[in-house]
Amino acid sequence: MLLEIKDLKVGFSTLRGPMQAINGIDLHVAAGESLGIVGESGCGKSLTSLAVMGLLPDTAKVTAERLSFNDRNLLKASAGERRRLRGSDMAMIFQDPMSALNPSFTVGFQMDQLLKLHERLTRHERRRRSIELLNKVGIPDPESQLYVYPHQLSGGMCQRVMIAMAISSNPRLLIADEPTTALDVTIQAQILALLREIQSEENMALILITHDLGVVAQMADRVGVMYAGEIVEQGTATQVIHHPRHPYTEGLLACLPETHGDQFMEALPTIPGLVPDLVHRPSGCQLHPRCSYADHICQQHTPVVSDAGEHRAWCHKPLGGQS
Ligand SMILES: Nc1ncnc2c1ncn2[C@@H]1O[C@H](COP(=O)(O)OP(=O)(O)O)[C@@H](O)[C@H]1O
Ligand code: SF4
Ligand SMILES: [Mg+2]
């Protein structure tokens, strides 16, 4: 297994008391596989990916029964080893490409600095490799784009540059944290298509983080649905999207525009209620204040997994339907 996560917890001390932001999650990703992680804002998607990358702030308390990449224990790795891994076998792209690039330097300069860090290439070879990478991510006239500054590029083009930089070391795992949220719909589709193309060409594993189950349906082999720092459902994309077993997944699916036929929706429906306060978590199932199926058992007892197969839901009353 390329990436294995078992009982990962991430906590912070806050002025209001200790906060368990990630509350014991299990995930795994095989080589070349794509895993979608979905959930509303604030459910812990970014913290999960930062924990994998070793990019959490020092204030975060991280524990896990297992956090391994390619059978290497990441919890025991030194800061230097984690940094080397980030420059080689794992890479990440973020929601806002504009802020990830340095506005003061040209695209070419920033790519050159990056290639200098992890490849022994001459200046001429680095330039050739930069052009090749920009070409690979579909940037027209890549040679002249080396001389532009980030603000001269559109959001979509900036994200392509970020992807070019992320794949420059041929990573075995790419984590894309809401890579298209800041882009308009047409560009969003192009960037997702590009990521999928690169993933299959390079046989690279992809963790795609999104709040949109529709994106996951197009992109992922498997899906993990997160709520309040926990995984509430996990399975293949087909299982989770076509036969959801967790009421929260059902709620997310109801928010997809497709489920409303061709009727124009002014505003998409959202799941009623708010995500819980992570300092004062609710008792029992974290969803119970918002779940229309909730009863006194849900209020009192933490749900355990409904079955141990590939399709799993953490709910006292998993929804029917064979998967
Ligand atoms: N550095 C931090 N210090 C304290 N709390 C944090 C920090 N980073 C994130 N959080 C909290 O952890 C929770 C999960 O955040 P995040 O992983 O960013 O959510 P998502 O990416 O799903 O929107 C949120 O409640 C957020 O406020
Ligand atoms: S355990 Fe109960 S409250 Fe939680 S999701 Fe299932 S039915 Fe809803
Ligand atoms: Mg996030």
Domain that holds residue 65: 3-89+171-313
> Is beta strand 90-93 parallel, antiparallel or unpaired with respect to 61-63?
unpaired
pLDDT at 322 over 70: no
Amino acid at 284: G
Q: Is 278 in the pocket of ligand 1 (CB under 6 A)?
A: yes
Atom index in ligand 1 nearest the CA of residue 226 equals 22
Does residue 264 carry a pLDDT above 80? no
Mean of the per-residue pLDDT values for the chain? 92
Which segments of 107-200 are extended strands (E)? Answer: 173-177
C-beta of 111 in contact with ligand 2 (< 6 A): no
Residue 13, Cβ density class (10 Å: 0-12 exposed, 13-18 middle, ≥19 buried) = exposed
Residue 23 covered by a domain: yes
**37: Cβ below 6 Å to ligand 1?**
no
Question: Domain with 76 in it: what CATH number?
Answer: 3.40.50.300
Question: Would 177 be classed as within a structural domain?
Answer: yes
Percentage of the chain beyond pLDDT 70 is: 95
Instruction: State mean pLDDT over 210-220.
Output: 91
pLDDT at residue 99, as a whole number: 82
pLDDT confidence tier of residue 117, bands split at 50, 70 and 90: confident
pLDDT reported for residue 263: 53
- Return the bridge partners of 92, or none: 175
pLDDT higher than 50, residue 202? yes
Q: How many domains does the chain have?
A: 1
Q: In the structure, what pLDDT confidence band is assigned to residue 266 with cuts at 50, 70 and 90?
A: low
- The ligand placed nearest to the CA atom of residue 279 is 1
On whether residue 126 sits in a domain, the answer given is no
Residue 125 forms part of a structural domain: no
For residue 199, pLDDT over 90 is answered with yes
In whole angstroms, what is the distance from residue 89 CA to residue 74 CA? 13
Q: Whose CA is nearest to atom 17 of ligand 1?
A: 44
Q: Is residue 229 a contact partner of residue 23, using CB atoms and an 8 Å limit?
A: yes
- The encoded tokens of residue 141 equal 């006239």
At 308, the pLDDT band (50, 70, 90 cuts) reads: low
Q: Evaluate if residue 262 carries a pLDDT over 70.
A: no
Q: For the segment 34-79, what is each residue's pLDDT rounded down to a tens digit?
A: 999 999 999 999 999 999 999 999 999 999 999 999 999 999 999 9
Q: How many CB atoms lie within 10 A of CB 56?
A: 19
Distances (CA, A) of 322 to 84, 207, 255, 259: 44, 27, 23, 20
Shortest-distance atom of ligand 2 to CA 318: 6
Give how far the C-alpha of residue 239 lies from the chain's centroid of Cα atoms, to the nearest Å: 19
Cβ of 58 below 6 Å from ligand 1: no
Residue 293's pLDDT is 95
Atom 6, ligand 2: residue with shortest CA distance:
315
Ligand 2 in contact with 317 (CB < 6 A)?
A: yes
Query: Ligand 2 centre and the CA of 314: distance in Å?
Result: 8
Pocket test for ligand 2, best of 285, 302, 304, 312 (most atoms within 8 A of CB): 285
Do the beta carbons of residue 117 and residue 87 sit within 8 Å?
yes
pLDDT of residue 320: 80
156 part of a folded domain: no
Mean pLDDT confidence for 98-122: 91
13-28 residue pLDDT tens: 999 999 999 999 999 9
Distance 291 CA to ligand 2 centre (A): 6
Instruction: For the chain, give the percent of residues with pLDDT over 90.
Output: 80
- Residue 107 falls inside a structural domain: no
Structure tokens at 172: 């075995």
Would you state the pLDDT for residue 260? 46
Domain for residue 129, yes or no? no
CA–CA separation, 142 vs 136, rounded Å? 9
- Compute the distance from residue 177 Cα to the ligand 3 centre, in Å: 7
236-245 pLDDT, tens digit per residue, is 999 999 999 9
Domain membership of residue 270 (yes or no) is yes
Alpha carbon nearest to ligand 1 atom 4, residue: 12
